């Protein structure tokens, strides 16, 4: 099984993702991303941060040991969002960055996300090369060539200044509840929103090391919905554990997902003439309602495979300014090269002020189609492209749905399963077709 998944390396901390593995990954990353390692006047530099998981402490120690043993100076920034690490790598012209986080996963998990120069995510080729070099012999630096560790006390303020540089419309007068998932956004998000002018009520913003994503954040929106209604707030914002995503809740407590946020921002940017090439980049999992809303607004949509790094690759190719995923990973390329939940929140609040519309009014620009996703496990993924029976079933489903629905079957990149996704005008029809397709997949690909 490949070490890297859709977004870095993840596993149960100290069981699958061990300190030994973190050490080896850090060394390999330095060897791959610093091409002139050991043969340069200025020592290479890395930014290392983590979310609020207790296991981040032991993995951070291993990552720092690996980097410094490879001759890399490490700037340790502590608990900060993943997009802050990406920003700091680019802002300080560091050679690489490592974020220790498992994003929205439960507390026992942890992960490693690696950024190359400029704060960009790794290519498939770079990830493959890092895996190839794991535990391979190499020439270790000694003496004065061993890396040093610098505790960077200014990193949070630099990141906050970067976030606030995106604010051209003050959001004074808006009341916001922000759910920080007891994670990496617990300080930065409420502070950024307050400095931008909003009245802010923070919840799930007291991390203990054990409570990250625990019945809170972007994967558990119930507390936020209740708080928004109780506080009579204009908007609720939910981050995940490392704050690279943003979901929202309107003043009525209704959820606004990543597709809807992207539609709101796209239509606003189109109005203001700031949507480059009148195009957004989304993934194949984006809701059909999003595609229809963009079509009706005159915005072109380019789709990629799932994963915000694939979205970014396509955005860079076409010099597009907006892209993202239904999960709330939105890339605002005028300000960042990775998903940033706090930037997204600031952009959404500014659009509310510019349009003089409520979040509910803005979200109504897109009608979300019911979507059913079924994971068919323990199947032979390689057979999917060659099964006539599955192809026939897909064709029948698409004929039945016509322009009022969509079918997508895709193999998991890391597990022996096929994801069957169906969108339709009703939950009943979507479930009926999805279950029918899942049965065919199970029968034909076992």
Catalytic residues: 103
Q: Break the chain down into helix, strand, coil percent, rounded to 5.
A: 40, 20, 35
Residues 6 or more apart from 214 whose CB is under 8 A from it? 106, 107, 182
Report d(CA 28, CA 132) in Å as an integer: 8
In the sheet with 45-50, reading across from the earlier edge strand, the strands are: 9-12, 109-115, 96-100, 45-50, 73-79, 149-151
Burial readout 11-34 (b: 16 or more C-beta within 10 A, e: otherwise): bebeeebbbebbbbbbbbbbbbbb
Q: How far is CA 34 from the centre of its chain?
A: 25
Place of tokens 């981040």: 56
Report d(CA 116, CA 415) in Å as an integer: 27
Report d(CA 446, CA 427) in Å as an integer: 28
| Assigned token pair, 152 | 């960077």
For residue 318, the surrounding DSSP H or E stretch is helix 308-318
Report d(CA 387, CA 396) in Å as an integer: 14
Helix (H, G, I), strand (E, B) or coil at 409: strand
Q: How far is CA 235 from the centre of its chain?
A: 21
Report d(CA 440, CA 128) in Å as an integer: 34
Nearest CA-CA partner of 162 in 332, 291, 308, 48: 332
Instruction: Mark out the alpha helices in 319-426 (DSSP H runs).
Output: 341-355, 359-363, 388-401
Q: Confirm if 37 and 65 have CB atoms less than 8 A apart.
A: no
Count of C-beta atoms within a 10 Å radius of residue 154? 10
Burial class (CB in 10 A: 0-12, 13-18, 19+), 102: buried
């Amino acid at each position: 099984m490949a070490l890297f998944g859709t977004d870095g390396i993840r596993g149960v901390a100290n069981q699958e993702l061990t300190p030994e593995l973190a050490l080896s990954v850090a060394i390999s990353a330095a060897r791959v991303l610093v091409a002139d390692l050991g043969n340069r006047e200025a020592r290479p530099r890395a930014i290392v941060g983590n979310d609020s998981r207790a296991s981040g402490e032991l993995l951070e120690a291993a990552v720092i040991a690996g980097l410094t043993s490879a001759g890399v100076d490490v700037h340790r920034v502590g608990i900060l969002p993943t997009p802050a690490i990406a920003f700091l790598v680019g802002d300080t012209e560091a050679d690489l960055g490592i974020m220790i986080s498992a994003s929205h996963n439960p507390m026992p998990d942890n992960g490693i996300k690696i950024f190359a120069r400029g704060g960009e995510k790794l290519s498939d080729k770079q990830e493959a090369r890092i895996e190839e070099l794991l535990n391979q012999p190499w020439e270790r630096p000694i003496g004065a060539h061993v890396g040093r560790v610098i505790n960077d006390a200014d990193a949070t303020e630099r990141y906050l200044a970067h976030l606030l540089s995106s604010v051209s419309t003050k959001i004074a007068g808006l009341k916001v509840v922000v759910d920080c998932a007891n994670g990496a956004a617990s300080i930065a998000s409420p502070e950024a929103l307050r400095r931008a002018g909003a009245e802010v009520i923070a919840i799930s913003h007291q991390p203990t090391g054990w409570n990250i994503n625990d019945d809170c954040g972007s994967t558990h929106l119930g507390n936020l919905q209740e708080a928004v209604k109780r506080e009579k707030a204009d908007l609720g914002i939910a981050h995940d554990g490392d704050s690279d995503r943003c979901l929202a809740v309107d003043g009525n407590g209704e959820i606004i997902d990543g597709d809807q946020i992207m539609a709101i921002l796209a239509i606003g940017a189109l109005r203001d003439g700031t949507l480059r090439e009148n195009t957004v980049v989304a993934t194949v999992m984006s809701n059909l309602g999003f595609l229809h809303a963009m079509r009706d607004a005159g915005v072109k949509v380019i789709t990629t495979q799932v994963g915000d790094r694939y979205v970014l690759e396509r955005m860079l190719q076409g010099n597009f300014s907006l892209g993202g995923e239904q999960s709330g990973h939105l890339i605002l390329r005028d300000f960042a090269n990775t998903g940033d939940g706090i930037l997204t929140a600031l952009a959404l609040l500014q659009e509310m002020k510019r349009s003089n519309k409520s979040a509910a009014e803005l979200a109504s620009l897109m009608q979300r189609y019911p979507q059913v996703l079924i994971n068919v496990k323990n199947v032979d993924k390689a057979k999917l492209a060659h099964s006539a029976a599955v192809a026939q079933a897909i064709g029948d489903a698409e004929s039945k749905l016509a322009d009022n629905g969509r079918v997508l079957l895709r193999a998991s990149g890391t597990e022996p399963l096929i994801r069957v996704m169906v969108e339709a005008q009703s939950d009943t029809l979507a479930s009926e077709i999805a279950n029918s397709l899942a049965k065919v997949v199970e029968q034909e690909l076992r």
